[in-house]
Amino acid sequence: TNTVGRATDHHGKYADGSFSIDIRERDQCLSHPCQHGGSCTDGFNGFNCTCLQDYGGSLCETNCPTNPFGIANSKKTIPDAQMSAHYTLSTKNAADGRLQGSSGWMGAGVGSWLQVDLGEIKKVYTVATRNNFKYIEDSTGGHKAFAGSEGYRSSSYYTLTYNVQYSADVNYDTIVKHYLTSPVSARFVRFLPLTWHSGGNPGLRVEIYGC
């Protein structure tokens, strides 16, 4: 910035001369603050990073496909109130469907689903699923995942571009990660079980990854 003014003496009277002050700020991008190939744009008293597709954060420091939103962790970054389910068994609620949980959510049959509210629209890269703890007869053999931004309005949801079918006999403790063919922007992610053991119920534990 450039400022032009007149000097005053200690009585507050203007002096005969005039002066200018030229303020120059150092280019904030000279230190290359953006990580993982991100590009830096200098600004007044700061800078902005533009990240490559798989990275996020103010410095592009976060690897989005491996960054959990916090369904699984013990701190419950995603609180219980942001987990919901339709047509569920009363003893295995939506909040039990955390990837590292000791039990798991359990649906009551066809049409059951488990849904996670991320709190705001975020970019989803990966989802992870796991069967119910020690309930092989209630394991989910296959599922579809949907994403949207308007809560319970099913018409606003679109199918994520993966549909992983794996054996319902998989060990209940096995975590299966499903990488999306391309990231999607969504606030809600819904898991719809497709198949499970005859005589049992669908059951899942989940986590979602992104930025």
If asked whether residues 71 and 52 sit together in one domain, one would say: no
Residue 96 lies in a domain: yes
Q: Given 15, 35, 56, which residue is the final one in a domain?
A: 56
What is the C-alpha radius of gyration for the chain, rounded to an integer number of angstroms?
A: 26
Which pLDDT score, from 0 to 100, does residue 11 have?
64
Closest CA to 63 of 102, 24, 30, 35: 35
Residues 147, 112, 154, 54, Cα dihedral to 10°: 0
Please give the structure tokens belonging to residue 119. 């709190």
User: Residue 181 belongs to a domain with what CATH number?
Assistant: 2.60.120.260
Which pLDDT score, from 0 to 100, does residue 169 have?
41
Characterize the bridge pairing of strands 39-43 and 46-50.
antiparallel
**86, 60 in Cβ contact below 8 A?**
no
The pTM of the full predicted model, rounded to 2 decimals, is 0.78
If asked whether residues 104 and 194 sit together in one domain, one would say: yes
Structural domains counted in the chain:
2
Domain that holds residue 193: 67-210
Outline where DSSP puts E strands in the chain: 2-8, 14-22, 39-43, 46-50, 55-56, 62-63, 83-86, 105-106, 113-130, 140-148, 158-159, 175-196, 203-210
Cα 209 from Cα 179, distance rounded (Å): 9
Which pLDDT score, from 0 to 100, does residue 167 have?
40
Beta bridge partners of 2: 22
If asked whether residues 27 and 74 sit together in one domain, one would say: no
In this structure, what are the phi and psi dihedrals at residue 7, rounded to the nearest 5 degrees? -80, 150
Residue 15 lies in a domain: yes
User: Residue 10 belongs to a domain with what CATH number?
Assistant: 2.10.25
Cα 119 from Cα 6, distance rounded (Å): 55
Average pLDDT of adjacent 10-residue blocks, the chain of 211 residues: 54 59 77 96 93 95 96 85 90 89 86 93 91 60 73 59 44 78 90 80 90 95
Q: Sign (positive/negative) of CA torsion 95, 63, 144, 168?
A: negative
Cα 138 from Cα 132, distance rounded (Å): 7
Q: Given 28, 56, 84, which residue is the final one in a domain?
A: 56
Q: How many CB atoms lie within 10 A of CB 60?
A: 23
Which pLDDT score, from 0 to 100, does residue 146 have?
76
Strand, helix or coil for residue 65:
helix
Residue 29 lies in a domain: yes
DSSP 13: P
